Amino acid sequence: MSDKKATLTYDGKTIELDSLTGTENETGLDITKLRAETGLITLDPAYGNTGSCTSDITFIDGGKGILRYRGYAIEELCEKSDFLETAFLVLYGHLPNSEEKETFKTGVNDAAGMPSDIIGHLNAFPKDAPPMATLSSLISVLAAHNTDDLGVAYEGESFTKPLYTIMAQVLELAAGQYRVNIGKTPNTYNPELSYAANFMHLMFSEPGQPYEVLPAVEKAMDLFLILHADHEQNCSTSTVRIVGSSQSNLFSSVSAGIGALWGPLHGGANCEVIKMLNSIYNDGIAPSDFVAKAKDKSTGVKLMGFGHRVYKNFDPRAKVLKVQVDNVLEALNIDDPLMGIAKELEEMARSDSYFVDRNLYPNVDFYSGILLKALNIPIDMFTVLFAIGRIPGWIANYRELHTQGQRIGRPRQIYTGSALRDYVDLENR
Ligand code: ACO
């Protein structure tokens, strides 16, 4: 709490509101007693000005383009860390020592091996089912197979068991579904490989022909996952917190987060960017014409991968990714015309007053699709990769919510419908 207070006068009555200041001096008014003292609520659809919690996990300064997990700059983590280490950091608040790092890795490795019955579930979905639909369902299915792990926990084995299960088996479920859909048998998790390399192996190894994960591919996938590990109270993380606040289990909370991430305005944007770049390329649309269309609201077209609720300068993840995509394309000797189109669109938008005035910059999804495409990931699985990366962040927020002992989440509303009216019989309507 800070010493500074705000006063609010309404209808002749004045009350004092406490304020609180975070580590980086962002300040909020504490309105938790507002309704009890005045009968008022605050109205903030889409929560643009509402802090739903205090959190120690991730700091974003959207004006300066800063993203830090537990105080560590995302750029430094991308350079020096790896995904499992970053996951531990996000979950527990400190970089693991070597013993903690090993225990965490072993925990994830030992939890691999999805229940054999799940193969039946993989086979039951239509072969063209959207992978985000199947992933969300399959994480719920894990609840059905792990009924001893449905309690609320934030420490000890009761927490780590479902945590490790989700982290290991999400790779097997996502890649297994892909392989079943194309008529192949799911591969087995390989504890000798890194988390990122395991995903590539689970996707692309063939019987007697292990997929060779090139160092550039492994690094790119690892970095992609690190960049997505957490992003404070966005749509999907808020969903996870709200579901978790009802004391629902970790599986169902994560499954709900996957549903929220799926939308094209959130994680689904990485697929939409590639679809947009493909159509510009295939239909021979001039990037300038596309930009003009995106500026004209009557078309309903947006420049996908641009804009962000929080970042109003640049998205630091997009900066890292842009460099990484160039590196990967070069290492794999790929000349992807979509990269040229993307750069051209970015250049145009950044010198166009429509985008400049509205602070619209490339977000994380603008370049990530080109990276995943270079790694041979099918387009409709791009958002699945985002979900896999975001799992530590969702689980860290679930854990934090319970360590804070937060009450069940329950926003209020201002009712604007009919006043009381009499029921009308069918024949009189
Ligand atoms: N292309 C064209 N115009 C845009 C775009 C865009 N990509 N994004 C925002 N605008 C315009 C809006 O039409 C609005 O214009 P107006 O002030 O004249 O009405 C203005 O910029 C502000 O945009 P809002 O939609 O109000 O911003 P909001 O914070 O609500 O939405 C969002 C942010 C959803 C990311 C939006 O910018 C968007 O739809 N972008 C494209 C989808 C996308 O890339 N999503 C991924 C986000 S990153 C992530 O979730 C991982």
| 3-state secondary structure (DSSP) of residue 219 | helix
Q: Which of 309, 307, 159 has the alpha carbon at shortest distance from 233?
A: 309
Domain shared by 168 and 119, yes or no: yes
Residue 1 has pLDDT above 80, yes or no: no
CATH number of the domain enclosing 376: 1.10.580.10
> pLDDT-based confidence at 64, cuts 50/70/90?
very high
Mean pLDDT calculated for residue range 143-157:
95
Tens of pLDDT along 173-203?
999 999 999 999 999 999 999 999 999 999 9
C-alpha 221/C-alpha 371 separation (Å) is: 9
| 290 falls within a domain | yes
Identify the helix (H) or strand (E) that includes residue 29.
strand 27-29
Which residue minimizes the CA distance to atom 8 of ligand 1?
A: 307
| 423 falls within a domain | no
Domain shared by 148 and 30, yes or no: no
Mean pLDDT calculated for residue range 300-313:
92
Question: Can you give the pLDDT at residue 313?
Answer: 85
**Residue 39 structural domain:** 5-66
Residue 164 phi, psi dihedral angles, 5° rounding: -65, -40
| 3-state secondary structure (DSSP) of residue 238 | helix
Q: Which of 234, 321, 348, 360 to mutate for ligand 1's pocket (most ligand atoms within 8 Å of CB)?
A: 360
Q: Which of 60, 234, 265 to mutate for ligand 1's pocket (most ligand atoms within 8 Å of CB)?
A: 265
Distance 303 CA to ligand 1 centre (A): 9
Domain shared by 62 and 82, yes or no: no
Domain shared by 43 and 168, yes or no: no
Which residue minimizes the CA distance to atom 32 of ligand 1?
A: 308
Tens of pLDDT along 340-381?
999 999 999 999 999 999 999 999 989 999 999 999 999 999
Question: Can you give the pLDDT at residue 423?
Answer: 98
Question: Can you give the pLDDT at residue 341?
Answer: 95
Q: Which of 74, 230, 309, 355 to mutate for ligand 1's pocket (most ligand atoms within 8 Å of CB)?
A: 309
Distance 306 CA to ligand 1 centre (A): 7
CATH number of the domain enclosing 27: 2.20.28
What are the pocket residues of ligand 1 if the criterion is a CB atom closer than 6 Å to any ligand atom? Answer: 265-267, 269, 294, 302-309, 358, 360, 363-365
Question: Can you give the pLDDT at residue 314?
Answer: 87
Mean pLDDT calculated for residue range 166-178:
98
Mean pLDDT calculated for residue range 380-400:
98
Q: What angle do CA 150, 153, 155 make, to 5 degrees?
A: 140
Distances in Å between the Cα of 127 and the Cα atoms of 131, 181, 248, 419 are 10, 5, 30, 49
Residue 190 phi, psi dihedral angles, 5° rounding: -115, 105
Question: Can you give the pLDDT at residue 2?
Answer: 79
Q: Which of 264, 214, 266, 227 has the alpha carbon at shortest distance from 375?
A: 214
| 71 falls within a domain | no
Tens of pLDDT along 235-257?
999 999 999 999 999 999 999 99
Task: Tell me the percentage of the chain whose pLDDT exceeds 70.
Answer: 100
Q: Cα-Cα-Cα-Cα dihedral of 144, 148, 149, 154, to 10°?
A: 160
Q: Measured on CA atoms in the order 230, 233, 239, 241, is the torsion positive or negative? A: positive
Residue 116 has pLDDT above 90, yes or no: no
C-alpha 122/C-alpha 301 separation (Å) is: 35
Distance 404 CA to ligand 1 centre (A): 33
Question: Can you give the pLDDT at residue 3?
Answer: 84
Residue 61 has pLDDT above 80, yes or no: yes
**How remote is the C-alpha of 16 from its chain's centroid?**
37
| 221 falls within a domain | yes
The structure's pTM equals: 0.94
Which residue minimizes the CA distance to atom 10 of ligand 1?
A: 307
Q: What does the block give as tokens for 221? A: 């996938």
Task: Tell me the percentage of the chain whose pLDDT exceeds 90.
Answer: 94
- The H-assigned helical ranges of 5-150 are 34-38, 74-80, 83-92, 98-111, 118-124, 131-145
Cβ atoms of 321 and 227 within 8 Å: the answer is yes
Domain shared by 84 and 48, yes or no: no
Question: Can you give the pLDDT at residue 38?
Answer: 93
